[in-house]
A and B are shown apart, each in its own frame.
Chain A
Amino acid sequence: MTKQYQIFFLLLALLLSCSAVAAAQAENIAPAASQKNLDKGIQDLKKEVLQLNRDLFLLEEDLLFPANTQFSVFVSIDAGNLFALDSVQLQIDGKVVANYLYTERELQALRRGGVQRLYIGNLASGKHELVAFFTGTGPSKRDYRRGTTLEFEKTTDPEFVELKIIDNKTKEQPDFKVKVWE
């Protein structure tokens, strides 16, 4: 083999070894033993921190938002072709309790069926009023701001309210609905 091809095959060897790596690694290669132990340790740690995280969330909720006064508001989007949500403002009994500006990633998650917990707080038993303002871009790319209201009676059970943005295909307009979950 001439020197010319010795040089060339240096790169060829490099390339084919990379391709082979692509073939094998395309999916996976079992890591070396020491790294495997480290991976196992990290796996156990993740599990433990997840359990701790769960316990502390439960503790926080029990302490800060007891069941008898707990009130949560969620946001969801059904389809979302007629309205591109920018932000939501939530008022309870005339007081602003949440303002939220959405990232594109969060909007995608909502459009795919995810539900966002917008607010959790405490409310005394009795009558209350919820007002939500949605700001974004509506049909024909025009700025759009719409509000929706709910008057409700808070009992001693936790209350879950869902604000839904739905495409109304008949009217070619978005609908903003409020659903109280039992």
Chain B
Amino acid sequence: MHLPNSKTTLASLLLLLSFSTAGAAEPNPEHQVNDLAYGVSLYHFFQDRYFSAITDLMIAKERKPIEKQGAYPELLLGSLDLSYGLHDEAASIFEPLLSENTPAEIRDRAWFNLGKLRYQRGLLPEAQQDLMRIQNSLPDFREAERLNLLANIYLQEQQYDKAIETLKSFSGDSTWEAYARFNLGVALIRQQRFEEGLAQLRADGQLKPRTNELAALRDKANLAMGYALMKMDRPSEAVKAFQEVRLNGPQSSEALLGIGWALSKMEQYDRALTPWLELRGRNPLDPAVQESMLAIPYTFEKTDRPKLALSYYEKATHAYEAQLRDLDNITQAVRDGELLKALQPANMGDESAVSLFRATLPDSISAPYLKDLMASHEFQEAVKNYQDLIYLDYVLDRWQDSLPTFELMLKERRALYQSKLPEIDKNAALKSIEAYQAERNTFAGEVSRIEETNDVFALANDEERDMLEVLGDIQHRLGSLSGQRNLKAQQEKYQLYKGILYWQISSDFVPRMWQLKKGLKDVDQALIEARATEASLKSAWQQAPKTFEGFESRISGQKTRIDRLKKKVDASRRQQEQYLQTLALDAIMQYRRRLNSYQIRSRFALARILDNMSKAGTP
């Protein structure tokens, strides 16, 4: 069931974030994502999930501040705070953005948000000043909203001429202008400035609506115009205004009632009956229908048809009685919490339930009696707070359920650590680092000796080593045979071969030495890395108990916080429930008073007609 009241759409429009309302088709620098955390926050923001979007930005601030998005993350956070009802937080974010160093576009947006925030708090002169400081950088749709805000400030300050002047600044076809005009028109009529008020309402009453919302506003303007004309004693013009209201629109019953009264005022009583009789087939809970139940017999009475009047008064009396009986049940249901249950989201974890509720009436038997209340800003804010509290409770429950899992995980990690500890102590690979180091030192000493002593043969390769072995064998044999034979020729050959081999190795000595030193360096590097790994491992194992303790204290600290907050949320929720019930019961009481008044009038008329008939001797 749709809320048939333009106040609802207006209120919800005004609650829209002033961050950006641009759709997908419009490229917007605010939506250009250069940082994932910003993009994730936008994702939640676009779904009206303000709590999550704020959390995303808070986590980013803690982990890794968003640096590649300019001032937009701050603007987003301020707008989110504003939408989530965190007014103090929002103000503290917008204020630093007002400095001369901030780009004009961002600064104007900050002024705009701050002005809107102060307006919502009833700080009208301050809000007006903020909104007047804005230069020319606002996009058209936001500029229109600014003018609407200004016009509303002037209306509340009863500066009607300034409000009229403000309306002249609107350019293009703006929904905000239509709203501002309607509000101004009604306000002027209330001030008895009828002609000026009519002029504003007439402009809205003749607009060509491109949306359902504007069509509804057009109906309201025509309706208000009709009633104003009636008050000005211009019934024929009033009929024309009422006839402009759509027959199937939410204002049609009031319009039909008004047509009837206007015709009646022109003493066209039979014609007046037509719209009223049409109302008989409509929703009996509609105040216009209820009033028409009296208007019909009144007209019959006035046109000397007392029997018909009697019959219709009786019908009206019965209808009012039945409705008053129903109201007893409705009142009891509201007291028993039926309405509260209907106001709770179907899914407790749905943090955007409030915005969905704005488009529909809750599924409560009391809802049809509370349409005006439910369309009011006060009630919607109260419901929003109520649903926010329910969501807070859900969040706290979820974390409360998660903490044992965290504790279990920590316990298992600690157990794993304890079981692995002996393995680490015994780990052969870790212990062998020292042996490798000793080997490396021996090797390094040998390299130094070779270099210092220029021990060329020490750098022989395998093949050369074989040859050296053969030469050594030859030298040994030559030594043992030296006294027996003349071995001069063999000695020379031996020297020649040894010399060739020496030359061969020594000519490659430098590169071979370089290769050796490089190998040594690689060993050194590997040992450094091994030691670093060992140190890191040891440190991790040594630090592990401290890390576990850190997590333990973080978890236990949160437990206390959650418990404390849960109590506060429960208390606030109970208070909010009481407040909502009081609002609903007051509205039902008002409804009852109106019905009682109709019923008294009806009974009085019945008595009067019966009395007259009895005096006239009519059976």
Contact = CB atoms under 8 A, between A and B. Distances in A.
Contacts of B55: 50, 53-54, 57
Nearest to A57: B59
Given A27-B120, A49-B565, A59-B555, A19 B224 contact: yes
Interface in B230-286: 230-231, 254, 257, 261, 264-265
Given A28-B377, A43-B86, A49 B395 contact: yes
B409 interface: yes
Nearest to A26: B10
A107 to B, nearest CB: 10
Nearest to B58: A54
Interface string A78-95: 011000000000000000
Contacts of A114: 39-40, 42-47
B436 interface: no
A110 interface: yes
Contacts of A105: 47
A30 B123 CA distance: 9
A105 B388 CA distance: 20
A112 B44 CA distance: 11
A175 interface: no
B358 to A, nearest CB: 14
Interface in A1-56: 3-5, 7-8, 10-12, 14-16, 18-31, 35, 38-39, 41-43, 45-56
Interface in A128-157: none
B409 A63 contact: yes
Contacts of A23: 152, 155, 183-184, 186-187
Nearest to A13: B227
A113 interface: yes
B7 A26 contact: yes
A108 B86 CA distance: 26
B191 to A, nearest CB: 11
A4 B55 CA distance: 60
B39 A28 contact: no
Interface string B368-410: 0000100011100110010011001001100100100010011
A109 B47 contact: yes
B46 A109 contact: yes
B389 A45 contact: yes
A149 B331 CA distance: 62
B58 A10 contact: no
Contacts of A10: 291, 594, 597
A166 interface: no
Contacts of A162: 36
Contacts of A109: 42-44, 46-47
Nearest to A24: B156
A15 B254 contact: yes
Given A16-B227, A38-B576, A7 B601 contact: yes
Contacts of B10: 22, 26
Contacts of B257: 11
Interface stretch (B24-32, B106-114, B319-327, B450-458): B24-32
Majority DSSP secondary structure for residues of B touching A? helix
Contacts of A53: 51, 55, 395, 399
A116 interface: yes
B554 interface: yes
A176 interface: no
A4 B298 contact: yes
A18 B377 CA distance: 12
A116 B204 CA distance: 43
B558 A56 contact: yes
A45 B389 CA distance: 9
B531 interface: no
B561 interface: yes
Contacts of A115: 33, 36, 39-40, 42-43
Contact of A45 (B28, B189, B568): B568
A116 to B, nearest CB: 5
A22 B36 contact: no
Nearest to B288: A11
Contacts of A16: 186, 189-190, 224, 227
B11 interface: yes
Contacts of B119: 27-28
B42 A20 contact: no
Given A11-B257, A54-B59, A59-B558, 12 more contacts: A4-B298, A11-B287, A12-B227, A14-B594, A16-B227, A20-B187, A27-B149, A41-B572, A46-B84, A54-B55, A54-B58, A56-B558
